[in-house]
Structure 1
C-alpha cells in the first residue's frame, strides 16, 4: 500500500466516523471550499441539491473553481438537531478546506460557537462575530459569512450582494 492509499484510507475512516456521528455532508471531501449551511433542507432532500446548490456551484465556477472543488456541511445532524460545537469543529478540521463559506446566519453562529476561542482574539467586532461580507482568517482558513444565500435567490439586488461577497474568495492558486 502506497502513501496515497494510506491517505485515502485515513480520510475514509475519518469521514465515516463523522457520518456515524450523524454529520450531514455532501460534495468532494478533498475540495478547497466548504459550504456550511445552517437552515435545514426539506425532508428527504440532499444537502445543497436544490436551487441554492445550483446557484452556488455556478457562482464558484464563475470565480474559477473547478466543478468538483466544493464540499457542503450542515450544522444540523441527520435527525435535524444542531451539531455540538466540538463536532462541527472536528468536521471542519477533518475536511480541512482553504475557504469556509457560511451560507446563512445559523451557519455563521454555529461556526462562531465552534471557534469562539480563536474568534475572540480578532481585532474587530465584525470579524469576531463573522458579520456578513467580512473575510476572516481563522486557523489558516478564509472564512466568509454570506448572510442568507438561499433567501437572496428571490431578489435580484440581494443576489448582487451575494455575488459581491463571493468575489472576495476566489481560488487561491499556488503557492498558497
Structure 2
C-alpha cells in the first residue's frame, strides 16, 4: 500500500501530466523535465526545429545545457518552451502565461527577442508594476523578479555562438541566475 506522501506525489505528477497534455493539444511545444527550476524559452527556431525537431537540439541547446551544468544545475534541471506556434506566430499571451505557470520554473531564460516579447506580453501587468522601468522592459542581460520567478533575457543566444566576445557576454548574463538553494 502506497503511503499518503507517495499518493500525493503521484497525484501531483498526474495533474502536471494532464496540464502539459492539454497545452500540447493547444499547440504548445515543450521538452525536458517539467519539474525543473529552469525554463529555456525560444521563438526564433532553426529550420529543423520549425519542421518539428526537438527544440534546443542544436548547438544552442548543447551550449545552454553545458552552461547550466557549469553553473551547478543538475543535468536534468532544465525544461524548454517554444514561444511560437506551428505557423511561427507568437503564442497568445494567455497561452504563454498558462504554459509558464504550468511548468512553474524558478527561473525563466528567454533566449531571443521573440521569446522575450511573448513573456512581456504575457506578464505585461506585473512588469508594469515593477518600480524599475528598465527592469520592467526586460532588456538583454538584466534579471527581473516577477511572480516569484527570475526572468532573464539573454538577447540572442543562438546568434552569439559564432562570436567569442558575444559568447563571453552570454556567459556573464547566465552567471546572474545560479541555482537557488533551499533555505535551511
Aligned pairs, number: 176
C-alpha distance in 2, partners of 1:41/1:47?
9
Instruction: Give the structure 1 partner of residue 13 of structure 2.
Output: 8
The runs of at least 4 consecutive aligned structure 1 residues that moved more than 2 Å come to 78-81
Instruction: Give the structure 1 partner of residue 145 of structure 2.
Output: 137
Shift of 1:175: 1.7
C-alpha distance in 2, partners of 1:98/1:118?
16
Unpaired runs of at least 5, structure 1: none
Shift of 1:18: 0.3
Instruction: Give deviations 1:36-75, integer Å, cap 9, x for gaps.
Output: 1010232232100000000000000000000000000011
Instruction: Give the structure 1 partner of residue 135 of structure 2.
Output: 127
Instruction: Answer yes or no: is 1:101 the counterpart of 2:106.
Output: no
Instruction: Give the structure 2 partner of residue 155 of structure 1.
Output: 163
What RMSD, in angstroms, separates the aligned Cα atoms of the two structures?
A: 1.2
Contact 2:38 2:79 in 1 (8 A): yes
Instruction: Answer yes or no: is 1:29 the counterpart of 2:49.
Output: no
Instruction: Give the structure 1 partner of residue 78 of structure 2.
Output: 70
Shift of 1:77: 1.8
User: Secondary structure of 1:92's partner?
Assistant: helix
Shift of 1:174: 0.8
C-alpha distance in 1, partners of 2:102/2:136?
23
TM (norm. structure 2) is 0.92
Contact 1:100 1:142 in 2 (8 A): yes
Shift of 1:81: 2.7
Unpaired runs of at least 5, structure 2: none
Shift of 1:4: 1.0
Instruction: Give deviations 1:95-133, integer Å, cap 9, x for gaps.
Output: 000000010111111100000000001122221110011
- Tell which deviates more after alignment, 154-163 or 33-42: 33-42
User: Secondary structure of 1:132's partner?
Assistant: coil
TM (norm. structure 1) is 0.96
